[in-house]
Structure 1
């Protein structure tokens, strides 16, 4: 489910932006001196870390970090927000690709991320000019015509890390993958305590909910995203599906990526979560209302139990897809809809 916004940017705008943005994010002499001092201090006690990640084909690749990366390029929402959540914004020399506003508690960190508004995702020529020592992004961008090949970057001494739930090849997307990414980045940047705290918060929310619903009737859940004339279904191999299962729910339709209205009626879930995506510049309330109405206002779907019982809820895509530190928000949103009695 690769989502880009190329249609929002004209070719002329891209050409101009790529020519200018590399220069615009170069650190000043003062910031270079600060980064150099910080790197020296961090390297003095740094123990080499070997991390397993992936290339554009989904193949496992290993990279050994001998020092904390100081010139990171972060592309996409989860990449940007993970760096902020771990307190690593001062290691980022350029960032791109926000679909949604950064959460209020991360705004201060975001201000230091050298965010480039004119280009959603840069190409490898732009990245090369930035001289990074690490590129953090999604699997769909690590192609030769985009950010560039993982092996080629690694051979130049530039580390790459893709969110594990965007690994190409149809691999299951799981909560465990999100935990692993956060913990790996904690090891790479020597902030293991911060990373562990984020993961433990997510795990504790799952455990608390599981304990609270023991002995209760299993809730049947569908997580769907209306997309024009079709409905995309988040099944067992998706992060949202794994969240539902780990929270003690049952997926009403665990198979398949797409369903018809007839399919939705046939599985008749107790609860339906409708996925929405409010792009920067859009009116979030309008987007949410119109997306939910596709399910709740369609006469053909009026007989659904979830519609009749007013159990159709919204969930933001960024909270249940390659979510990074927003994983906790996805867990909490799904738990609240599945078990509203727990929040009373």
Structure 2
């Protein structure tokens, strides 16, 4: 096609096309011809990653927060200008209705394996998906969880949206803060045995080898008693918990059952009377947004360390 002078002029005024960017997303590589301008994030921790990178003006909304009652005051101001498109997981129609061009979610963080909203189902509609690194274990193999999972997401979002410098500065800050922090152990004390109690009374839902609390607990100087559980977030039996006898229980606070109600359930159940954490009433609460990958993980590590190594 021969370009007319007006078209050539328009192209010249518009400037060069943004550099193409390719990032790893679980078992895929995703290429972006230009930064997204109509992004949607699912869940409070993923949304905070977007906000901490200053990307609110690139978003058309968020999903999956009010349905789980995870929005707190610290977060509220950041999203007040954005609509919540869906209280829980969005449907494909919700994302299409928002004219989204990007969806930041994870497996069991806004997407389900075999569900209607996946990278494959959204691709024909021009909606690119970046998957939360921690969640990749649900669709394939990955290394044990570490702080590198969260850093990778910040770094990749920086590349996708063209804010690499800000992402790099954040990651360097997180690394420096963590390097300067050392759990205040007394002498040669062994790492405390820790159990993560997310939810459930019949059977507890907990964090295994691939869930973020394992990395947080280790950074704080403890050991997750379910470190050998080859799962991310999943259900175990109370018998396993009693047998492994945690010294400290980390309660994840969200949803309709409060952290205090979860603590009371364990404290008042005769079946748990011989657990060290129950005998010594050693519980510590992490908010959902602290226990899942995101900007508040460093704060969570310090909170855990204070509970593990009291002065």
Fold agreement, TM-score > 0.5: yes
Structure 2 residue 290 is matched with structure 1 residue 313: no
1:77-116 paired onto structure 2 within 5 Å: 77-98=44-65, 99-116=68-85
Q: Is the 1:122–1:146 Cα contact (8 Å) retained in structure 2?
A: no
1:66-99 deviation digits (Å, cap 9, x = unpaired): 2221111222222322211211111111221103
Q: Quote the offset at 1:226 in angstroms.
A: 4.4
Structure 2 residue 137 is matched with structure 1 residue 137: no
Counterparts of 1:102 and 1:261 in 2: how far apart (Å)?
Answer: 30
- Equivalent residues, number: 287
| Structure 2 partner of 1:53 | 25
Q: Quote the offset at 1:212 in angstroms.
A: 4.3
Which one is further off, 248-257 or 209-218?
Answer: 209-218
Structure 2 residue 156 is matched with structure 1 residue 184: yes
Q: Is the 2:39–2:100 Cα contact (8 Å) retained in structure 1?
A: yes
Counterparts of 2:180 and 2:208 in 1: how far apart (Å)?
Answer: 24
CA distance change for structure 1 residues 116 and 154 in 2, over 3 Å: closer, same or farther? closer
CA distance change for structure 1 residues 130 and 264 in 2, over 3 Å: closer, same or farther? closer
Name the TM-score, length of structure 1 as normaliser: 0.72
Q: Is the 1:319–1:329 Cα contact (8 Å) retained in structure 2?
A: yes
Q: Quote the offset at 1:184 in angstroms.
A: 0.7
1:328 is matched with which residue: 277, 298, 304?
A: 298
CA distance change for structure 1 residues 253 and 88 in 2, over 3 Å: closer, same or farther? closer
Counterparts of 2:186 and 2:24 in 1: how far apart (Å)?
Answer: 37
Q: Quote the offset at 1:191 in angstroms.
A: 1.9
| Structure 2 partner of 1:219 | 191
| Structure 1 partner of 2:202 | 229
Q: Quote the offset at 1:190 in angstroms.
A: 2.0
Structure 2 residue 281 is matched with structure 1 residue 304: no
Which one is further off, 206-215 or 234-243?
Answer: 206-215
Q: Quote the offset at 1:65 in angstroms.
A: 1.8
Counterparts of 2:99 and 2:22 in 1: how far apart (Å)?
Answer: 22
1:227-282 deviation digits (Å, cap 9, x = unpaired): 121123423332111221233322334233544444333322222212332x3xx5
Counterparts of 2:181 and 2:188 in 1: how far apart (Å)?
Answer: 12
SS in 1 for 2:204: strand
SS in 1 for 2:196: strand
Counterparts of 1:163 and 1:308 in 2: how far apart (Å)?
Answer: 38
Structure 2 residue 94 is matched with structure 1 residue 126: yes
Name the TM-score, length of structure 2 as normaliser: 0.79
Q: Is the 1:175–1:242 Cα contact (8 Å) retained in structure 2?
A: yes
1:101-156 deviation digits (Å, cap 9, x = unpaired): 43434433301222236x42322133223332211112241666432x42354455
Q: Quote the offset at 1:313 in angstroms.
A: 1.7
Gaps spanning 5+ residues in structure 1: where?
A: 1-39, 55-59
Structure 2 residue 247 is matched with structure 1 residue 270: yes
| Structure 2 partner of 1:12 | none
| Structure 2 partner of 1:196 | 168
Q: Is the 1:87–1:109 Cα contact (8 Å) retained in structure 2?
A: no
CA distance change for structure 1 residues 233 and 116 in 2, over 3 Å: closer, same or farther? closer
Q: Is the 1:201–1:328 Cα contact (8 Å) retained in structure 2?
A: no
Counterparts of 2:279 and 2:310 in 1: how far apart (Å)?
Answer: 16
1:282-319 deviation digits (Å, cap 9, x = unpaired): 5xxx7121111122222332332222333222223332
Q: Quote the offset at 1:185 in angstroms.
A: 0.5
SS in 2 for 1:210: coil
Counterparts of 1:45 and 1:217 in 2: how far apart (Å)?
Answer: 58
